[in-house]
Amino acid sequence: MSTMAARLRLQRPDFVLDVDLALPGHGVTALFGPSGCGKTSLLRAIAGLDRAAGRVEVNGQLWQDDGARAWLPTHRRQLGYVFQEASLFDHLNVRRNMEYGLRRLPPARRRVPLERAVELLGLSALTERMPHTLSGGERQRVAIARALATSPQLLLMDEPLAALDSARKAEVLPYLERLQRTLDIPVLYVSHSPEEVARLASHLVLLQQGRVLAQGATAQVLARLDLPPAHGDDAAALVTATVLRHDARDQLLSVAFGGGELHLVSPHSHAPGSSVRLRVAARDVSLSRTAPGDSTILNILPAHITELASQGPGLVAVALDCAGTPLLARITRRSCDHLGLGPGQSVFAQVKGVALVD
């Protein structure tokens, strides 16, 4: 089984990066946390751009081992790097920008044909354009295609959407999801956006002040009450579900997961049997000790309380187990006391809002 391991230590002016990671060698792993927590420093150390002490191995390739005095410089590491800014060569058209890295890549190592990268990122109509004629989202898609064209063993992405406005982010995200589904190249994705993490990442590494607070499956880490993502207005659970049907009249999409069915308004039909990701915000979940009667809320799920935690004055976070799927609720302290809620109790989770994230 392919894996990636990084044990690194690097002194920074305001913190010490000190991590020991064993990550899946496939899919998207998000490095998540607030600004200044060490996400970019870790990415640069793995790339060899900053000299950290330790060891890095990617799918059987040893990039660094200080104990064995082994060190591969960045240009010999089979990686692609996408920065916040696209940094295209302004004097080259789109095709020549994408071809730039191929000159030093032996044909035998070319596993991702350039035309495949062009197709996946929707760039066929742009190949003769000059960079100054492109939108921000188009420029970033070209930068990603340029990184993919080098057939990397690992793709590093440092907040690739941070410099884009919301419209351009919405333009690029579907292409990133397509890459995740179709390419067998592991991705390390730096972000401080919960939405991006929910849409793209299968594995999550939570960083704080240069150290790993937690790592694991994205849905499990996001739902832990002892970690920052489960607190505040952005707290949400991630649910993977299977499409059942789409009601065109009511624009209602029905999906199934281990805990039952969920229904959400969606103008877009999805093929029955296809897999989708859903984001359920904790603030959109209320609780009842008894099965609700007539209600405008379509989603009512039986669940068990696993944990409660204070969320500041007047608020309580509740972790729920819904037949193996974690959910979160954010309720008032008064409601919690009135219902006498505690760990192990059976409740009904009333889910007002469900967001489709892929």
What's the confidence (pLDDT) of residue 108? Answer: 66
Mean pLDDT, rounded, for 73-97: 92
Sign of the dihedral through C-alpha 341, 346, 347, 349:
positive
* Model pLDDT for residues 229-257, shown as the tens digit of each residue: 998 888 999 999 999 999 999 999 999 99
> Does pLDDT of 158 surpass 90?
yes
The tokens for 29 are: 């792993």
172: confidence class by pLDDT, cuts 50, 70, 90 = very high
275: confidence class by pLDDT, cuts 50, 70, 90 = very high
What's the confidence (pLDDT) of residue 358? Answer: 61
Mean pLDDT, rounded, for 63-74: 95
Q: Higher confidence at residue 47 or residue 266?
A: 47
* Model pLDDT for residues 204-219, shown as the tens digit of each residue: 999 999 999 999 999 9
> Does pLDDT of 2 surpass 70?
no
Cβ partners under 8 Å of residue 95, min gap 6: 127, 128
> Does pLDDT of 103 surpass 90?
no
Q: Which domains can be identified in the chain, with CATH numbers?
A: 3-218 (3.40.50.300), 236-356 (2.40.50.100)
Name the residue among 153, 164, 155 with its Cα closest to residue 86. Answer: 164
Phi/psi zone of residue 223: left (φ > 0), alpha (ψ -120 to 50 degrees), beta? alpha
| Residues 256-293: b if buried by 16+ CB within 10 A, e if exposed | ebebbebbbebeeebeeeeebbbbbbbbbbbbeeeeee
Distance CA 132, CA 279 (A): 37
Percent of the chain residues topping a pLDDT of 90: 69
